[in-house]
Structure formats: structure tokens, C-alpha cells
Structure 1
Amino acid sequence: MTTVTTRTVEYPADNLTMIGYLALPAGAESRPAVLIGPEGMGLSDVERRRAEALAELGYVALAFDLHGGRYLEDPEEMLARCMPLLADPDRMRGIGHAALNVLRAESRADPDRTAAVGYGTGGAVALELGRDGVDLRAIGTVNALTTGRPGEAARIRCPVWAGVGSEDPIMPPAQREAFTAEMQAAGVDWRLVVYGGALHAFHHPPVDHTVPPGVGYHPRHAQRAWRDIVALLAECLPVTD
């Protein structure tokens, strides 16, 4: 196992002091870099471990923050913050750009070889970076089939991979259709994987607080979705020695 170095990084965004989690692979050479966006509750050990896993594969990885260092366990508090955020593409882009600037400023990161992956609200942020025309090599999202402002998906400059549970009540078939129609009309190289029987946040291991209805962990599909994201990065942002 290679040695991974980690540290927290503070940076301003959305009128808050964000606390991200940076994971660096062994060595001193420049490496491709990946942003990781969390679910609506906020940055947790789930995303921190994913950053470490990507660093093990040779990527510089930054799991970014949504709520100024807070993890919103109360579903009502989470929705009260996330719903206005999801309705405001410019706010999402601000959060994404702030994190991307931190990642690209890291001396080990190749600023010209970056990707963005995210879950739920963090995935919506990744998509908005694409719709803002950011030079990314890949975008991967789970539970984030959000659509954007008319015509702006044409600015996406990289392949988009999206995963969703077939039984996700927050991202139902109508939302899937709207998302894929937007991607197709914009000429994006897109893929959608529907994981049979899975609910919303199926990738997220069980938590010790109340979760909304329609949310549930699916271990097999969680592993499959992670493998699919790793394969997307291997295809579009390979690590070369």
C-alpha cells in the first residue's frame, strides 16, 4: 500500500469558511486531480475515505465542504440549506470554483488535468462546474440528476457519467428523462447507470441519525458505483508514471 498524506484545508466560499479534506499520493511528482463533492448533509468520513482511496490510486483528491465545517444530521436543517442552494446555480458554482481553485493551487496537482465527482448536492455542484464551461476531463455523479439553465449544458467539455437507484424517489424516472434529454440535446458524451432496487444515497453506509424516507444503503450497488467512478477516471484521467 502506498503512503497517502492527508490534511484539512480552509478556504472561503458561500460566505462561510469551508474545511475541505486533501489527500495526496506518495511521491513528489505532479498528478491528476479530483474534486469530491458530498451529499447534502455535508462532508463526512465517507468522502474523506474516498479521497484517500483516490490518492492510493495516484490522484490528488480534495473532498470539499458544503456547510462551513458542519455536518447537518437533522434532515429538516439539511433541506432548509440545500434546497435554496440547489435552486441557485451561481451559488453552487461559487462553492465549486472555490474548491477547484484550492485543488489546482496544490503543488502536487496538475491544474490542467482535473475531474469532478460528487454525490447528491455535491454532484449537482460538479455538474454546474461543467455547465459553467470549466475545463474538466470527466464529471461523475451519483444521485444528482439535476438539470441546469436552458442551453448551458452545451458548455460541458468532458464525458459525464451518472448513477442513480431505480427506486430513488428524489430522482424519479421523470427526472432521469429530463437530465438525459438535456445532456443529449447539448451533445454531451453521457452515460446513465440505473442500479436496480436501490434507493436514494444507496452508496452511503448507514448513519447513526435520522434519514428521510426513500434513503437507504445498498452494499452491492455501492461497490459497483464506486468501481464505475474509478473506471471513468481511469478512462478520462489516467494516472501515468
Structure 2
Amino acid sequence: MTTITNRTVDYPADNLTMIGHLALPAGDERRPAVLIGPEGMGLSDVERRRADALAELGYVALAFDLHGGRYLEDPEEMLARCMPLLADPDRMRGIGRAALDVLRAEPRTDLNQIAAVGYGTGGAVALELGRDGIDLRAIGTVNALTTGRPGEAARIRCPVWAGVGSEDPIMSPSQRDAFSAEMQAAGVDWRLTVYGGALHGFHHPTVDHTVVPGVGYHPRHAQRAWRDIVALLAECLPVTD
């Protein structure tokens, strides 16, 4: 296994001090880089391990924070913070841009080869970076079929891949249709993968605290979604030795 290094990084965003997780591949040359956004609960070891896994594949990876170093286990507290955030594209873009600044400041980052991947709220942030015209090579989201302000999807300059569970009550069929229509009307190179039988949060291993209804882990589809993200990155940000 490739030797990687990782460390926490503190940075300001959304009037908070965020605590991200930066993972670096072996060597000292510049590499393609990936932002990783967490579900609404916030940054956890799940996303930190994903950043490490991407570093093992040769990427510089930053798992960014949403809540100032906190993981919001209580569903009501999580929704109270995330719902206003999801309704405010400028706030989401601010959180994403702050994390992107950290990633760009890392000397190992190839500034011309950056992608954004996110889950739930973190995926919505990734999409808003695209709608803000940020120069990304790929955007990948799971459980984040959020639509933006009219016309702004036309600013997306890269392929978009999105994954969702067929039984996700939060990202409903009507939401899928709205997202698809937005991407298509904007001329985006987009794909949508629907994982049969999966609920919201199907990618996230079971947690030991209360979750909102309609959320559940699906191990097989979780592995498939991860492979789909890795394939997206391999296509749009190939790592060359």
C-alpha cells in the first residue's frame, strides 16, 4: 500500500473555524486534487477515510468541514443548521470556496486538476461551486440532487455525476426530475445513477445515534457508489506516474 500522510487543517468559513482533514499521497510532485464534502451531520471518520483512500490512489484530498469541528448527532440540530444553509447558495459557496482555498494553498496540488465530490449537504456545496463558475474538472455527488438559481447551472464547466437511492424520500423522483431538467437545459455533461432499493444516506455506514426516517445503509450500493466516484475521477483527473 502506498504510504500517505495526513493532517488536520484549520481555516475560517461561515463565521466558524473549520477543521478539515488533508491527505497527501507519497512523493513530492504535484498531483490532481479532490475536495470531499460530508453529509449534513458533518465531517466524520467516514469522509476522513475516503480522503485517505483517494490519497492512496495518488490524489491530494481535503475532506472539508461544515460545522466548525462539530458532528451533529441530533437530527433536529442538524436540520436546524442545514436547512437554512441549503436554502442559501451564497453561504454554501462560501464554505466551498474556503475549503478550495486550503486545497489550492497546498504545494502538492495541481491547480489545473481539481474536482469536488460530496455527500448530502457536502454534495450540494460541490454543485454550488460548479454553478458559481469555479474551474473544476469533475463534480460528483451522492444524495444531493439539489437545484440552483435559474440559469446558473450553465456556468458548470465539467462533467457532473450524481448518485441517488431509488427509495430515497428526501431526494424524491420529482427532485430527480428537476435536477435532470436543470442539468440538461444548461447543456451540462451529466449522468444520474439510481441505486435500486437504496434509501437516503445509503453510502454511510450505520451510526449508533438517532437518524431521520428514510435513511439507511446499503453496503453493496455503498461500494458501487464509491467505485463510480473513483471511475469519474479516473476519467476526468487521471493520475499519471
- Displacement after TM superposition at 1:225 (Å): 0.1
- Displacement after TM superposition at 1:69 (Å): 0.1
Query: Do the aligned residues in 2 keep the contact of 1:123 with 1:141 (CA within 8 Å)?
Result: yes
1:35-57 Cα offsets, whole Å, 9 max, x none, are 00000000000000000000000
- Displacement after TM superposition at 1:111 (Å): 1.2
- Displacement after TM superposition at 1:228 (Å): 0.1
- Displacement after TM superposition at 1:158 (Å): 0.0
Instruction: Tell me the SS of whatever aligns to 2:213.
Output: coil
- Displacement after TM superposition at 1:177 (Å): 0.1
Query: d(CA) in 1 for partners of 2:124 and 2:112?
Result: 22
Query: d(CA) in 2 for partners of 1:23 and 1:128?
Result: 24
- Displacement after TM superposition at 1:162 (Å): 0.1
Instruction: Tell me the SS of whatever aligns to 1:177.
Output: helix
Instruction: Tell me the SS of whatever aligns to 1:217.
Output: coil
Query: d(CA) in 1 for partners of 2:146 and 2:206?
Result: 24
- Displacement after TM superposition at 1:202 (Å): 0.1
1:140-170 Cα offsets, whole Å, 9 max, x none, are 0000000000000000000000000000000
- Provide TM-score, normalisation by structure 2: 1.00
1:13-68 Cα offsets, whole Å, 9 max, x none, are 00000000000000000000000000000000000000000000000000000000
Query: Do the aligned residues in 2 keep the contact of 1:166 with 1:197 (CA within 8 Å)?
Result: yes
Query: d(CA) in 2 for partners of 1:74 and 1:112?
Result: 39
1:120-139 Cα offsets, whole Å, 9 max, x none, are 00000000000000000000
Query: d(CA) in 2 for partners of 1:49 and 1:180?
Result: 30
Structure 1: 5+ residue runs without aligned partners?
Answer: none
Query: d(CA) in 2 for partners of 1:83 and 1:112?
Result: 33
Q: Equivalent residues in 2 for 1:191-230 (5 A)?
A: 191-230=191-230
4+ residue segments displaced more than 3 Å? none
Query: d(CA) in 1 for partners of 2:113 and 2:89?
Result: 24
Instruction: Tell me the SS of whatever aligns to 2:58.
Output: coil
User: For this pair of structures, how many residues does the alignment match?
Assistant: 241
1:155-196 Cα offsets, whole Å, 9 max, x none, are 000000000000000000000000000000000000000000
Structure 2: 5+ residue runs without aligned partners?
Answer: none
Q: Which residue of 1 aligns with 2:17?
A: 17
| CA RMSD across the alignment | 0.3
Query: d(CA) in 1 for partners of 2:69 and 2:208?
Result: 19
- Displacement after TM superposition at 1:112 (Å): 1.3
Query: d(CA) in 1 for partners of 2:200 and 2:41?
Result: 13
Query: d(CA) in 2 for partners of 1:57 and 1:228?
Result: 14
Instruction: Tell me the SS of whatever aligns to 2:193.
Output: strand
1:66-124 Cα offsets, whole Å, 9 max, x none, are 00000000000000000000000000000000000000110001111100000000000
Query: Do the aligned residues in 2 keep the contact of 1:105 with 1:111 (CA within 8 Å)?
Result: no
Query: d(CA) in 1 for partners of 2:113 and 2:129?
Result: 15
